[in-house]
Amino acid sequence: MNSVCFVKLVLRDLILLVLARSSSVTVLPMPSTTVGELRERLLALGETAPRSWTGLQIKARIAALKEERQALQLDAMEEEMKVLKKAARKKSDLQMLLDKESVTFNQSDTISIMFNRMEKVIREKYEPQDTEMVGFGAHAELTYKELMETNYQYLLWCETTVGEGQANWRMQRLVKWFKIQKTKVSKQGYPKQPPVISTPRKTAMARASHVSDSEPSDFSVISHQDEISRLQAELAKVRQEKAELQEENTEMSRTLDRTKTRKEM
């Protein structure tokens, strides 16, 4: 093969790769917002824009106010969580805290059960934040933002699970945050989800090199198998957590029945 033919083949494969990438991304049109609408948005946040301000200045102020409010919300939520963690050191203190916040509990409840119930009440007061921990499953130690950056497909699965009514409050909160993020990026004109770049076939460069015929023609097969195995492991872990919760609920019911029987006697 002469050098001219080789260059043509390389250029052809590069063009196909660019087309494959561009076709997988649907860019939404940027919505146009008038200065008057921006002034109304700023007014809704409690401030009035000076007449001399341009649209860009108003946008910057709106963004700053939103960041300030999110920071205040996060600080308030974390402060309540500190109080909860301190109370959880002693069961009686935790019971007093739940009683103060009018959160129902049973005397037989463990610290873990009461803590989880109180945490749910605290977090539901505030909008979900980027820095919150997932708190369940294989990604429990990741923040919401880290999960979105590393495993978008898992978020889509959580969204489906919540839609089917089979999720605990932590997953519901994660999905609530996820929907907020999708709304944000849609308004900004970005893709609704990260583009899926399909693995291209071997390029002319690879064909020209000494590659054995026994190698797979599509390298994505291996990665797909790994992804399926990972998802199966995560599903098994979720099922295990569900079984543990059901067992815990059964034990609580038995305790309540025994208490009721004793009172009747």
DSSP codes, 10-54? HHHHHHHHHHHHHHT--PPPPPP--HHHHHHHHHHTT----TT--
Residue 230 one-letter amino acid: R
pLDDT tens for 189-219 read: 444 455 443 333 333 333 333 333 333 333 3
Question: How would you classify residue 145: left for phi > 0, otherwise alpha for psi between -120 and 50, otherwise beta?
Answer: alpha
Say which amino acid occupies 33.
Answer: T
Q: Which residue has the tokens 């991304």?
A: 25
SS3 148: helix
For the chain, what are the domain ranges? 33-127, 130-195+227-246
Q: With cut-offs at 50, 70 and 90, classify the pLDDT of residue 96.
A: very high
Got the DSSP string for 115-139?
A: HHHHHHHHHTTS---TT-B--SGGG
Between CA 242 and CA 216 the distance in angstroms is 39
Taking each helix axis as running N to C, give the angle between helix 91-100 and helix 111-123, from 0 to 180 degrees, rounded to the nearest 10. Answer: 30
CA angle at residue 182 from 176 to 187, to 5 degrees? Answer: 130
pTM attached to this predicted model? 0.49
Higher pLDDT, 173 or 6: 173
Strand partners, 143: 133
As a dihedral over the C-alpha atoms of residue 170, residue 174, residue 180, residue 181, rounded to 10 degrees, the angle is: 160
d(CA 103, CA 123): 14
Q: Are 47 and 65 in contact (CB under 8 A)?
A: yes
**Terminal-to-terminal C-alpha distance of the chain:** 96
> Cα 204–205–208 angle (5° rounding)?
80
Average of pLDDT values for 74-88? Answer: 88
What confidence score (pLDDT) does residue 45 get? 82
pLDDT above 70 for 102:
yes
Euclidean distance between CA atoms 134 and 217, whole angstroms: 38
